[in-house]
Structures are given as structure tokens and as C-alpha cells.
Structure 1
């Protein structure tokens, strides 16, 4: 007469995707017992009718309801699963209300015989609570009450509301059996749902771990835009105005001939790691590493505007140049005598950016004449020099001091291209500059006053005073103290 189970159809799509295929290792969820539960409910109701009629607790004509109780569950199954009603929203709740009407009519037709009527009502209310909660229970109770009153209006109440002992026992046992079986199904599905959630959580954690591994092969901005759904992974490009940066190490070829491959690899990876942190600090998209060269661009996938993108790119280059001096001193202390210098080129203009390649193997990169110009500027730069195009200069000249370097001829450009050398931030020029550096044979000093704490300031001053005193008297400065100065 009714059915009950935990509603899984509103679960997440990931839970729905779990099947009973053991080959995939997924959690098997028991089939939804609408049909089984309804067959059981109507079967026990038919048993109550038969026993009640045999003991003369019910009228003999109620035996006709037994046939309906046997056929009705199959009709409901066909209607709700094999017809257009299967797509109807909340079809289970609606059919349960029909069961409440049928159950109420049966209770009214029995004349409200106490225990059988209470048993049927209990099964209906139990099903409503499990399937639809309090709301379904209230609506089902109303439908059943109305149906009971209508049936009583035609049949009238029974001569006695008490039922024979066997009829009462049959009703109680049948109801208890139905409730126990329904509860068992609900427990099994709740358990399966918990296992499914656990498996989904495990798969989610594995996916996160895998995505973090894959992120090492992509720039963080590109990786984030893909995994957040902002960007589709397909072959597509667009035209955008970007600031493009190239750099390489002057003297690296000579160094590669002197060092063992393992030591050279360690040095190069250390260099790339340090420079990558600087690039990410300023929001650059790291395109690729080629040999000892680095390619970075600003303005995609995210942009702060052309002026800010260009300023961030040049600021990154200045900090890389400063950081290279510190790294060079560290390498010298490790026995690397070849002076390694970084040279850089920056160009700003429209490029084609996006996914290039094949459907099964693509690369997120940029192409265009501005890319060629940045690469050309990098190859023309002297060690420690940053060359920029006129477009870049026009965007950053109010905050960064630059020096005119004349014009060059570049393939793909019809006219000579004016270029400029980056000197430093205007705020750091003159007596107010925060970064000082001196490097000679036997002496190296790199000072960034903005990063020095008050406690460190006193220690540095004392070390400088000791060094100055020894230089005046011509004494050798101990190695431990030159290390402090570097």
C-alpha cells in the first residue's frame, strides 16, 4: 500500500556516477525499493483483509480488495517507470499520496476497526516520514483523513471497534514486518551512501593531489584558470596587449664546459627557482624555460591594465638583476669563479596568446612580432643590462629612469625600433635609494635598507665599522667577517 526509502535522486552527480560495476571498484548501492516496498505493503494488507473476513471482523465484499492489492503495485511500477510520468518531479511523493488515499479508504471501509486500522495508518505515516519528512507526513495525514471520512460516509462505522485476536496479531505482525524491512532497506542505502561519499572524498583528494602535481608543468595563473573552469582546454587563441620578457645568463656556455653536468644542473635549477619566485611575486605568467633562458609575460590570463602590467614586468626585471648579484656572490663562495651575469629584454604590444598545438597535446604560449622583439632585445643587451622597447618605455617612464640607447633594425618591423636601457626606480635614485652594492676582488657588499630590521642594523653597522678600521690600518680582514659583509 506504500513504500519508503532514502531518496538518492537529489544526491550529487558524483554520487550518481557510482555504479555497481565491481571492476571499477565503485560502491554498489542497493536498488531503490519503491516497487518491493509497495508489493510488501499491499501484500500484508491483503493478508489482514483475508484474516479479518474469515474471522468476520470485516464485510465479505472486502475480499474484492485483495485482487486490487495484488495488482496495484505492478500498475504503479509501470506508470512511474515506463511512461512519461517517470520524468515528473516528485513522482514518488505524489504516488505515496495516492497510497494514503487508498489506505484511508480501506480504513473507512473496515468501519474503523481499531488495530487493523491503526496498523495500516502506521505503515502509511512511517512511509511518509521516510520519503518526504514532516511536510509529506502532514499532507499524507490530511489525504488519509479525508479518505477515511468519505468511506465512513458510505459504509458507516463497524458494530465493534475491537478485532478478533488472530486478526489483531496478523495486523501487528504484518506491520512490524513491513517497518523492519523498510528500515533495513533505508539502513542499507544510508550505509551505501556513506561509503559512496567516502569514496568520492578519496577520489577528490587524489584529484587534488594529481592537480597539484600537474600544476608544476603549468604557470600558476594558467593552472588556476583551468581548474576553476574559467578557461576551457581547447585550441583557441586571442589577441591581447602583453608585456613580454626574455632573459638568459651571459657566460653560461663557458661555465657548462668547466662544470660537471650534475653540478651544472643543480646550479641551473637553483637559478630558475629563485627567478621563478621573483616572477610570481610580480604576477608574471612563466611561459617556458629554454636552456638558461626564461620567458615570462604579463597581461594574461589576468591583467591589471597595460600600464601596471608593463610596470610589473620591468620591476620584476630590476629585482632579478639585483637578486642575481646576491646569487653570484653565493656561487663564488661555492667555488664558481666564472662571473655569471643576466641580460634581459622587454617588449610591450599586441600578441596572439592561447593554446597552440594538437587536440591531444597543446601548449599555452604567445606568438607575434613583439615576442621576437623582446628576444632580440635580450640578445643585444650587455651583461646586467635591461633593454626595453619604446612602447614599454612610454608606459613606465614616469616611475622608472631609463636611458636612450638609439635605434635598432628588427626583422618584421618596417622602421628602426627605438630602444631604452632601464637604470633603476626613480624613487631609488640619488641619496634616497635603498639598494647599494659594491663588488671588488676580495670585497662584496649588497645592501637593501628596506629589508634590514632594527636589530640587524646594529650588527651590520658594527661589522662595517670593524671592516673600515682594518682597511684604514691595512690589516687583513678575517674570512668570517668578509662573509658577513657579503
Structure 2
């Protein structure tokens, strides 16, 4: 007379399929209680109530005709919902349950509102409505059941005695309890299966996230994020964009590689790349590749803050890299590396082709174009500790960064000589108000950036400087 918990079964089935798609087995899949079996159980219980009530004289004998209908309807409903056009009807389970409520209300009216059998039928129907469709289904089912019961009572009239015989009442209560217990058991099993499926899906999700983070080490964070958020498709495609392109390498690295063991050299290089990569990401650069001791970074893709800001961020990154090399040299010197490693850099701004290059099964997200060649050429021409930039870059940053004219160079791919400039420093840091000081000798190195020093660190630095000054004076007096 009513539907089994269909929505819960459907959700459990979907979760099971989702897991089975990724795994060869599904340990949490629980076979749900089908609508067909649930309806057979409910209508069989109703048939037992009818037969018992007729035998004990509580119901009129003509109700025995309903027994055949009660035993036949579950099979007919299964055929209609699985073999006919009704199977394509939306929310067919909810609609069939409404029909069951109408049938149940008609049955209650036919038995004349005899108390316990009527209550038993109502309990089975309302329990199913709540499980299948929640409060909305319960309200609809209650309305149709009450209307059908009222119509039947109006036609037939209430029973002379609303109290059913003891055996009829016991069987009605037992049948209702059996239906509710069986349905509740399957509902519990399916809810448990859903929780286990949710846990397994969550574990799979965490594993996928962990794997994606591992894979992200092979991509620039901006590119990785644009792919995993769906902003960019992984396919062979390129576009023309105006970018700021940066190249750098270490002067003296070749000589150092001949002096150091491969393991120590690898550790030094990885430390250098790690420090410089953090600075590139700090300023929003897209790290293209590492080649030997060289780094290639570009600004303006996949995200851009505008041509002027991209160029300024690129040059700002280069200036900070140059300053940071002084700190790294001090650390390397304390580790016994005496070769004075210097970084040299080149920056060019202009239109390049950016995107995925390669084959369908192996792609590389990079840039090509004459501006890339120009940046590489500027880097190779730069002196140790020098930053050379193209005229296009200079025109975008000259109001914030002091540069020095270095003349012109001839570059393959450019019809005319290319003006180049040397980056001196931020204009705000020029003159007596500059925030940093630097001084370096073979036995002494100092790098001071007062904007980054806290009050507590200031006291410690002053004490160290005073101690160093006193020692130098003592050695001078002794000599």
C-alpha cells in the first residue's frame, strides 16, 4: 500500500556507482529494499487485516474482494512503473505513493473507520511518506488520505462499532510493526552505507588533493591554479600577450662546479632556486623553467595587473634578488664557499606568444618570441650584479626606478639597434633617506634594510655593531 524509502535508496546507489567507477569493488554498497518488495509487504499486511476482520465480523464480507486487489496491485504497479511510459515520468515514486494514500484512505472509509486497523494503515502510509519525500510528501499524502477516507465514509457510512476484535487488532498492530521495522532496518543500512560512502569519497578527495599538490610542484602555481579551477583548458592553444620577461644566471657558477662535489653543488643550487622562487612568487611572477643555474620568469600571464604594474613588479623582483644574493653569499661563505657568486639579470617587455606547446600527451606551458630572445641576450651581456632592461621596460618603470643609459645593442630579430638601460635602484631609496645600507669586503659583509627591522631586532643589531666597532678599534690600537 506504500512505497519503500526510494530517495534514500537512490542516493545510496549513486554513491555506490561513483565509488565503483574509481575502484574495482565497492565495500559499502548495501542492496536497498526495492519499491516492489516494500509494496508487497504493505499490501500483504493489509490483506491479512481484511481477512481477519471479515472472519471476526468486524468488516463486511464484500471487502474480501479487496484482498485480490491488495495482492495484485503491487505487481501491476511494478509493471506500470518499469515497463510503460510512466517510467519516464518525473518523481514517479512520489506520485505512486500518493496513489497508495488514496487507496489507503478509501480502505479506511470502507471499513467504517474501525480504530486500530485504520490507525495501522495510516501509520504505514505516513511512515513511508516521511521517508520518501519528507514533510511535503507527508502533508500531501495526509491530505489525499483524509479526502479519500471522508469520501468513502460519506458513501458507506461509519461502522456500528469502531472497536475491532482483539485478534484483528493484534494482527493489525503486528503487521504495521513488522512493516515499519523492516523499512527502518533497510533505511538504517542505507544511511550507514551513505556515511561509509561519504567517508570513502572524502578519503579519495583528500588523496586527489594531495596528488594534485604533488603535481603542482612541476607547474607554476598560477598555471596550476588556473587549470584546477577550470579557468584554463589543458589543450594545445596559445595567445599573444604583452609580458615582462626575466632571465638570470649565476656568474662564476661554472668555475664553482669544478671545485665542489656534485652533492654539495646540488644542495647549493637548490637552495638558490628555492630562495629566488619565493621572491618570484612574492611579486606575482610565473616561473617558466630552471635551466642549469638560469631562471626564466614572466609577468602578465595567466593573471595580469596591467602592463605598467607587471613591468614594475618584474624589475622590483630583480632588485630584491640582487640584494638577497648578498645575504646568501654570507651564508655560503660561512659554509666554506669562497667563490664570490654574483647574479646577473636581463628584462624585456613586449608581445610574446604564450600557452601550451608540445604534443597532446606532453605539453609545456611557456612563451616564445623575440622579446624572450632579447631578455636572454640582456642577461648574457649584464655584468655581475647588474640588471639590464629594454627601452620598453624602462618607459614603464622610469618614474619609480632610477636607471642609467647603457647605449644600444644589436639583437637578431630586431631591425634596428635596441636601447638598453641599467637598473640602479628604487627612487624612494636614493639619497639620504634610503632604507638600506650595504657594505662588503673579504672579511666583512653587511646588508641593512631598516624598513624590515623590528624594534626588538634593532637593539640586538645595535649591540652587535657596537661590539664589532669596539673590536676593530682594539685591534687598531694594538697594531
TM range (shorter): over 0.9
Report the equivalent of 2:232: 231
Shift of 1:462: 3.9
Q: Is the Cα contact below 8 Å between 1:242 and 1:297 reproduced in 2?
A: yes
What is the correspondence of 1:35-434 to structure 2 with a 5 Å cutoff? 35-434=36-435
User: What is the alpha-carbon distance in structure 1 between the residues aligned to residue 403 and residue 14 of structure 2?
Assistant: 58
Shift of 1:399: 0.2
> Secondary structure of 1:17's match?
helix
User: What is the alpha-carbon distance in structure 2 between the residues aligned to residue 236 and residue 469 of structure 1?
Assistant: 65
User: What is the alpha-carbon distance in structure 2 between the residues aligned to residue 193 and residue 408 of structure 1?
Assistant: 69
Kindly tell me: are residues 10 and 277 of structure 1, through their superposed partners in 2, closer, same or farther at Cα, counting changes over 3 Å? same
User: What is the alpha-carbon distance in structure 2 between the residues aligned to residue 51 and residue 97 of structure 1?
Assistant: 26
Q: Is the deviation greater in 391-400 or in 66-75?
A: 66-75
Q: Is the deviation greater in 278-287 or in 23-32?
A: 23-32
Kindly tell me: are residues 82 and 328 of structure 1, through their superposed partners in 2, closer, same or farther at Cα, counting changes over 3 Å? farther
User: 1:208-230: CA deviations, max 9, x gaps?
Assistant: 21122112111111111222222
Q: Structure 2 length normalisation: TM-score?
A: 0.94
Q: Where does structure 2 lack aligned partners over 5 or more consecutive residues?
A: none
User: What is the alpha-carbon distance in structure 2 between the residues aligned to residue 357 and residue 65 of structure 1?
Assistant: 74
> Secondary structure of 2:113's match?
coil
Shift of 1:50: 2.0
**CA root-mean-square deviation:** 2.2
Shift of 1:362: 1.4
User: What is the alpha-carbon distance in structure 1 between the residues aligned to residue 256 and residue 201 of structure 2?
Assistant: 51
Shift of 1:108: 0.9
Q: How many residues align?
A: 477
Kindly tell me: are residues 388 and 20 of structure 1, through their superposed partners in 2, closer, same or farther at Cα, counting changes over 3 Å? closer
User: What is the alpha-carbon distance in structure 2 between the residues aligned to residue 52 and residue 446 of structure 1?
Assistant: 100
Report the equivalent of 1:483: none
Q: Is the deviation greater in 30-39 or in 205-214?
A: 30-39
Q: Structure 1 length normalisation: TM-score?
A: 0.93
Shift of 1:373: 1.2
Q: Where does structure 1 lack aligned partners over 5 or more consecutive residues?
A: 478-486
Q: Is the Cα contact below 8 Å between 2:32 and 2:186 reproduced in 1?
A: no
Q: Is the Cα contact below 8 Å between 2:409 and 2:418 reproduced in 1?
A: yes
User: 1:116-169: CA deviations, max 9, x gaps?
Assistant: 212111111111122222222222111011101111222222232222332222
Report the equivalent of 2:4: 4
